[in-house]
Amino acid sequence: MTATPLTLQPGSLAEAIARTLALWTAERRVARLWTKDASLWTNSGEEKWLGWLDVIEQQRKELPARAALAQAIRDEGFTDVLLLGMGGSSLGPEVVSRVIGGAPGAPRLHVLDSTDPAQVKRFDEAVDLSTTLVLVASKSGSTLEPNVFLAYFFHRLVQVVGAEAAGRHVVAITDPGSQMQKVAERDGFRAIAFGEPTVGGRFSVLSAFGTVPAALGGVDVARLLGEAAQMADACRREDAANNPGVALGIVIGEAALAGRDKLTIIASPDIAPLGAWLEQLVAESTGKNGTAVIPVDLEPEGDASTYGADRLFVYVRLASAPEAAQDAFVEQLNRAGQPVVQIDVRDAYALGQEFFRWEIATAVAGSVLGINPFDQPDVEASKIKTRALTDAFEKEGALPAEAPVVLDADLAIFADEANVRALGPVATPGEAIAAHLKRIGGGDYVALLAYIDMTTDNVAALQEIRAVIRAQSGAATCLGFGPRFLHSTGQAYKGGPNSGVFLQITCDDAQDLEVPGRDFTFGVVKAAQARGDFGVLEERGRRALRVHLGPDVFAGLQALRQAVEATYQ
């Protein structure tokens, strides 16, 4: 449990951090945090969302129940667990599964959080549903994505194991009294694990939403919670400079106030999946009221001299398996005068420490920034537009018509009137993309928002495009796949400062899937989510362009890359 001090050149940022650390100590703000004093933030009900401070001990009491359920499904021959979730209910379990993994002989954990029909179908084909436990996770039970996932996979279970046995293949994680609880009781689910209503989704990884899938997947949950408890004890220290979570939060908050609001995550390969969870925690918590810390995860590295003065780097280094190239890169950043925080993580199970450290840090950064880190006002805006579009489809049988600004055989460009005027005259998609990227200015970031199947090839292609933009523009770059980023960085993109340049990427689905019981398909849901997301970006006056690829996604991505490269030639 170590964190080296922030590496800083002497100057105003170091002085501001020192002042705020001293203020937190002098005013006993750490104690006030632990007593859930909402005046640390905006006094707008924050105390109602601080149950995560107590959740470790609560979950330790649930360990026998977690172990019993895990043993029961192993005894019954279940080979796989398929988690259906979104945002906080999926990102945490995915990180635990990918970083720690399960014990030999434990069921394999799969995490589905995409409405892309190809991705849903691939998950269906990856498991034998006759020996698969479906784990549906939704705090409210009203979130669109888990509900359509459940509709599809419960229907598939009925086909495979029969109507009477289907419910025994499903476990729900939800808050007491939710719509999901009613569905679980109606359909005879094997079990219901209850979340804590005072714990928001992005702070829920150490609650039932994280511990149930971890236990079912063969993770030693007692050990994970023990690591988290060690960090919780350290985060009670009243000396802010010696408090690992509070100190990190003050650094992040003060750096953002000083213009270094691009929190760039560098992580050892074996713990790199942590970055996706950090993205959601930081962006959704801080991105509102025109303020944000923009997390930058998995960005291709460049020469240290090419990074601007809007960066704060955090190096999460796995002490048992560091990578020499990353160490060298971080040393270059230090020599270039970039601020770097290095956090040494002992081993995979010390992930539990990092979960709690970063939850404290995010809450503290919110205090420094003067915002409520526990709400997400702009996430709902996209949900409302998506619901309106899916409702319209069920009524009319089609989504509202739209016309491209310009198109060719590979790409079609869409934008609202304000963005079209800003582009100026364009005759081809390539010209539109070039004009859009030339709008990037100092202190801006670029976000690629991809509503396509999250395959290895598609990720690699988008990472290559991202690398070109970063190298040529000098701007920080982000990559998110829809709809998962809507419950993560999407809050900051809409509620944060108008410093983002957005390139949304959509496609025609080569094959679609019906959503049982509804008059729309997964492809329609994804399209409605993309349009809803884009519409809110437009309403907020964001610089946003949509590139539609058609059904041949690979060819479309190659055409997009060529257009991006041509911009800088």
The CATH number of residue 413's host domain is 3.40.50.10490
Statement to judge: residues 388 and 499 lie in one domain: yes
What per-residue confidence (pLDDT) applies to 8?
60
Answer whether residue 48 is part of any domain. no
Written as tens digits, the pLDDT of the chain (569 aa) is 544 445 565 568 999 999 999 999 999 999 999 999 999 999 999 999 999 999 999 999 999 999 999 999 999 999 999 999 998 899 999 999 999 998 999 999 999 999 999 999 999 999 999 999 999 999 989 889 999 999 999 999 999 999 999 999 999 999 999 999 999 999 999 999 999 999 999 999 999 999 999 999 999 999 999 999 999 999 999 999 999 999 999 999 999 999 999 999 999 999 999 999 999 999 999 999 999 999 999 999 999 999 999 999 999 999 999 999 999 999 999 999 999 999 999 999 999 999 999 999 999 999 999 999 999 888 777 788 888 888 888 888 999 999 999 999 999 999 999 999 999 999 999 999 999 999 999 999 999 999 999 999 999 999 999 999 999 999 999 999 999 998 889 999 999 999 999 999 999 999 999 999 999 999 999 999 999 999 999 999 999 999 999 899 999 999 999 999 999 99
Whether residue 293 contacts residue 365, with contact meaning beta carbons closer than 8 Å, is answered with: yes
Q: Is residue 387 part of a domain?
A: yes
Residue 250 and residue 147 share a domain? no
52: helix, strand or coil: helix
pLDDT of residue 550: 86
At 6 the pLDDT is 54
Domain-ending residue, one of 369, 396, 419: 369
**Please, what is the Cα angle at 455 between 205 and 85, to 5 degrees?**
30
Residues 123 and 269 in one domain: no
| Integer Cα distance of 141 and 192 in angstroms | 12
Please report the beta strands in 305-459, taking only residues with DSSP state E, as ranges in sequence order: 311-318, 340-345, 406-407, 412-414, 445-450
- Give me 178's structure tokens: 């939710």
Q: How far apart are the C-alpha atoms of 364 and 367, rounded to whole Å?
A: 5
Which residue, among 327, 333, 253, 286, has the nearest Cα to 8 in the 3D structure? 333
Please check whether residue 229 lies inside any domain of the structure. Answer: no
Measured CA to CA, the distance from residue 381 to residue 564 in angstroms comes to 30
Q: How far apart are the C-alpha atoms of 245 and 253, rounded to whole Å?
A: 12
Cα radius of gyration rounded to whole Å, the chain: 23
Concatenated DSSP letters of 339-377: -EEEEEE-SGGGHHHHHHHHHHHHHHHHHHHTS-TT--T
Query: 3-class DSSP state for residue 414?
Result: strand
d(CA 350, CA 344): 10
Task: Report the C-alpha gap between 329 and 268 in whole angstroms.
Answer: 12
Q: What's the distance, Cα to Cα, between the start and end of the chain in Å?
A: 47
Does 292 lie in the same domain as 181? no
Decide the pairing of beta strands 80-84 and 132-137: parallel
Residue 355 forms part of a structural domain: no
Neighbours of 132 (CB within 10 A): 26
Given this model, what pLDDT does residue 305 score? Answer: 92
User: Cα-flanking dihedrals φ and ψ of residue 65, to 5°?
Assistant: -70, -40
> Do 215 and 241 belong together in one domain?
no
Give this prediction's pTM: 0.96
Last residue of a domain, one of 369, 398, 431: 369
CB-based burial label for 11 (10 Å; 0-12, 13-18, 19+)? exposed
Report if residue 556 sits inside a domain: yes
Q: Which two tokens stand for residue 156?
A: 């598939």
Assess whether 552 and 412 both reside in one domain.
Answer: yes
Give exposure, 447-471, as e/b (b: 16+ Cβ within 10 Å): bbbbbbbbeeebbebbeebbebbbe
Number of domains composing the chain: 3
Among 307, 339, 369, the domain-final residue is 369
Query: In what side-by-side order are the strands of the sheet with 340-345?
Result: 2-3, 340-345, 311-318, 262-267, 294-297
In a domain? residue 258 = yes
For residue 551, whether the previous peptide bond is cis, meaning omega lies within 30 degrees of 0, is no
Distance CA 510, CA 505 (A): 16
Residue 41 lies in a domain: no
Among 439, 420, 450, 401, CA closest to 549: 450
Asked whether residue 343 falls in the same domain as residue 384, the answer is no
Q: In this structure, are 391 and 307 located in the same domain?
A: no
Domain of residue 83, residue span: 55-219
Contact 420, 413 (CB under 8 A): no
- Domain check: are 346 and 448 in the same one? no
For residues 295 and 421, give the distance between their C-alpha atoms in angstroms, rounded to a whole number.
30
Q: Examine residue 163 and state whether it is found in any structural domain, yes or no.
A: yes
Distance, in Å, from the CA atom of 263 to the CA atom of 350, rounded to the nearest integer, reads 22
pLDDT for the residue numbered 4: 45
3-state secondary structure of 474: coil
The answer on 63 and 27 residing in a single domain is no
By DSSP bridging, strand 294-297 and strand 311-318 are unpaired
Please tell me whether residues 205 and 273 are part of one structural domain: no
252 shares a domain with 176: no
CA dihedral (101, 106, 111, 117) positive or negative: positive
